[in-house]
Amino acid sequence: MDDAVVVGSGPNGLAAAVELARGGASVLLLEARDEVGGGMRSAELTLPGFVHDVCSGCHPMAVLSLFFRSLPLAQHGLRWIHPSASVAHPLDGEPAVLLRSSLDDTARELNEDADSYRNLFSPLLKKPYELLADLLGPLRFPSHPLLMARFGLPGLLPAVGALRARFRGVRARAVLAGCAAHSILPLERPLTAAVAMIFALTAHIEDWPVAAGGSRSIGRALASYLSELGGRIETGRYVRRLADIPPARVVLFDTSPAQLADVCETILPPGYVRRLRRYRYGPGAFKLDWALDGPIPWRDPRCLEASTVHVGGTLEEIAAAEAAVWRGEHSERPFVLVVQQSQFDSSRAPAGKHTGYAYCHVPAGSNVDCTAAIEQQIERFAPGFDERILARHKTFTADLERDNPNYVGGAITGGVSDLFQFFTRPVARLDPYSTPNPRLFLCSASTPPGGGVHGMCGYFAAQSARRSLDKLPIVLPALVGS
């Protein structure tokens, strides 16, 4: 009997397994697919020689994750490639805004709002890792309450109101609206200002990197380190029922709350199962990958300096596009998130060629083809883009969920992070990773601090599971429902 079985090998499942193994526990990790990584995988989706990231493509949280930074992942083949800018935000009729690690260089891009931008972020950058340690975890009293208050008071506000109140010009409002749109919430909702601040803050700590060789390199490095620690991995092991789980003292699920409910319904209280099934996942994503005959021809060529390009125009345009998704509509001018991996990693495409990666938000379960809307938005700021396309690959919401059942309805961030669910994911409990059954735990992005490749959900879940292991008998019966 193993101490722990971890079901699912996304960033949090791997993180939970590594943390438990690092503490001396015997760990078996089960993965339904033939390769570990979950959303951290890469494949030739368009043409031979063009390596595309299946889901996650740029990794600001991974390179800053306090947990990942404590691991010797470079010794297991992981290499980060940093651009000279994290974000480029093109605008009509004027140069793009570039979000760089230098606060002063970024502020100079913002004209009349330079001082306001510096005043917002300069205090937070005095102890950025301490702030991230408080932000990337469950609800608890912060270790640095004054610093957290400086972040939290403006962060609680809706992005639209906060950005209009603080900044006068189009440029500052636009670049931070693009950061806020990572929340996949209407920008009129509380906490969206916090998302804008978090993403901008990360860009001022380190430029947002891509993983050399593809996002699959992250999962492979974690798996390699897990094996070095004595952990075991079995692929092709889909867990649909309790009988599919080998004997273990505790089981951690890197799955959606719905999957946990389906598998463990008979050994969890009915009320808790109902609350799991009421969990809200939010909108989905429609994704395009391209094989390109050259780099994207941005009107402002400085956009090629950034790993990520936020395509959506002004604050008002981005807010309108994101609000439409929540009304069940498909915006004709969506907010499009573009990642330019091959611009910095030549292994992604044949010599002289490039890959393209982009997605927009769509209503959950959408089957609408958004290719034209996405490509028109890119063409708007990169005339001639359509002439660079050699081949394209489309990923609908159903494709995302089929590829990774955690992405319910195509939701790629583990669930809605609004004011209520942000603090109570997946349900309201003092220990959000635990369940009423002391042998079952949830470690996915549906727990705090939510979506992203950072492993912190898995790290904290492993801490919770370890406390339970300390109290449980060495030998336990199999997990069988009544």
Residues 217 and 264 in one domain: yes
Beta carbons of 374 and 386 less than 8 angstroms apart:
no
The pTM of the full predicted model, rounded to 2 decimals, is 0.96
Q: Residue 372 corresponds to which tokens in the numbers above? A: 């034209």
User: Rounded to whole angstroms, how far apart are CA atoms 317 and 319?
Assistant: 5
Is 90 exceeded by the pLDDT of residue 210?
yes
Using CB atoms within 10 Å of the CB of residue 345, give its burial: 0 to 12 exposed, 13 to 18 middle, 19+ buried: buried
Does a structural domain hold residue 74?
yes
* Residue 92: how many other CB atoms lie within 10 Å: 11
Angle between helices 159-166 and 170-180 (to 10 degrees): 160
275-293 burial code (b ≥16 CB/10 A, e <16): bbeebebbbbbbbbbbbbe
**Least confident segment among 139-143, 173-177, 223-227, 233-237:** 139-143
Beta carbons of 363 and 330 less than 8 angstroms apart:
yes
Residues 270 and 126 in one domain: no
Residues 320 and 239 in one domain: no
φ/ψ bin of 415: left (φ > 0), alpha (ψ from -120 to 50), beta (otherwise): left
Residue written as tokens 């978090």? Answer: 198
User: Rounded to whole angstroms, how far apart are CA atoms 279 and 364?
Assistant: 14
Residues of the chain above pLDDT 90, percent: 92
Q: Residue 323 corresponds to which tokens in the numbers above? A: 């609000």
Non-local (6+) Cβ contacts of 429 within 8 A are: none
Does a structural domain hold residue 218?
yes
What is the per-residue pLDDT across 53-103, written as a single tens digit (0 to 9) for each? 999 999 999 999 999 999 999 999 999 999 999 999 999 999 999 999 999
What pLDDT, on the 0 to 100 scale, is given for residue 241? 95
Does a structural domain hold residue 86?
no
**Interstrand relation of 2-7 and 27-31 (parallel, antiparallel or unpaired):** parallel
Using CB atoms within 10 Å of the CB of residue 93, give its burial: 0 to 12 exposed, 13 to 18 middle, 19+ buried: exposed
Residues 398 and 325 in one domain: yes
Does a structural domain hold residue 482?
no
Q: Where are the alpha helices (DSSP H) in 310-434?
A: 315-326, 371-381, 385-388, 397-403, 421-424
What is the per-residue pLDDT across 236-291, written as a single tens digit (0 to 9) for each? 999 999 999 999 999 999 999 999 999 999 999 999 999 999 999 999 999 999 99
User: Rounded to whole angstroms, how far apart are CA atoms 219 and 227?
Assistant: 12
DSSP code of residue 91? E
What is the per-residue pLDDT across 298-319, written as a single tens digit (0 to 9) for each? 999 999 999 999 999 999 999 9
Does a structural domain hold residue 365?
yes
Torsion 390-396-402-405 (CA) sign: positive
Is 80 exceeded by the pLDDT of residue 461?
yes
Q: What is the CATH number of the domain that holds 310?
A: 3.30.519
HSE of 360, CA atoms in CB hemisphere, 13 A: 31
Q: Residue 445 corresponds to which tokens in the numbers above? A: 């992005």
Q: H or E element: which one contains 248?
A: strand 248-253
φ/ψ bin of 306: left (φ > 0), alpha (ψ from -120 to 50), beta (otherwise): beta
In the listed set 358, 379, 403, which residue is the last one of a domain according to the structure?
403
Nearest to 248 by CA among 12, 28, 480: 28
What is the per-residue pLDDT across 144-167, written as a single tens digit (0 to 9) for each? 898 889 898 889 999 999 999 999
Domain that holds residue 242: 2-43+55-79+212-280+411-469
User: Rounded to whole angstroms, how far apart are CA atoms 366 and 228?
Assistant: 42
Q: Write phi, then psi, for 4 (nearest 5 degrees).
A: -145, 140
Long-range contacts of 124-132 (CB under 8 A, 24+ apart): 124/150, 124/151, 124/197, 124/201, 125/201, 125/204, 125/205, 128/201, 128/204, 128/205, 129/64, 129/66, 129/205, 131/201, 132/64, 132/66, 132/201, 132/202
User: Rounded to whole angstroms, how far apart are CA atoms 275 and 283?
Assistant: 20
Residues 422 and 330 in one domain: no
What pLDDT, on the 0 to 100 scale, is given for residue 481? 61
What pLDDT, on the 0 to 100 scale, is given for residue 478? 83
Residues 336 and 398 in one domain: yes
Q: Specify the number of domains making up the chain.
A: 3
Residues 342 and 367 in one domain: yes
What confidence tier does 482 reach under pLDDT thresholds 50, 70, 90?
Answer: very low
In the listed set 205, 237, 261, which residue is the last one of a domain according to the structure?
205
Residues 256 and 241 in one domain: yes
Average pLDDT over residues 333-352: 98
Using CB atoms within 10 Å of the CB of residue 165, give its burial: 0 to 12 exposed, 13 to 18 middle, 19+ buried: exposed
Residues 196 and 276 in one domain: no
Average pLDDT, whole number, for the chain? Answer: 96
Residues 37 and 73 in one domain: yes
Q: What is the CATH number of the domain that holds 69?
A: 3.50.50.60
- Residue 257, CA distances (Å) to 144, 252, 260, 273, 274 in order: 31, 12, 5, 9, 10
* Residue 34: how many other CB atoms lie within 10 Å: 7
Does a structural domain hold residue 474?
no
| Largest Cα span, the chain | 69
Residues of the chain above pLDDT 70, percent: 100
In the listed set 403, 433, 449, which residue is the last one of a domain according to the structure?
403
Residues 398 and 288 in one domain: yes
Residues 285 and 311 in one domain: yes
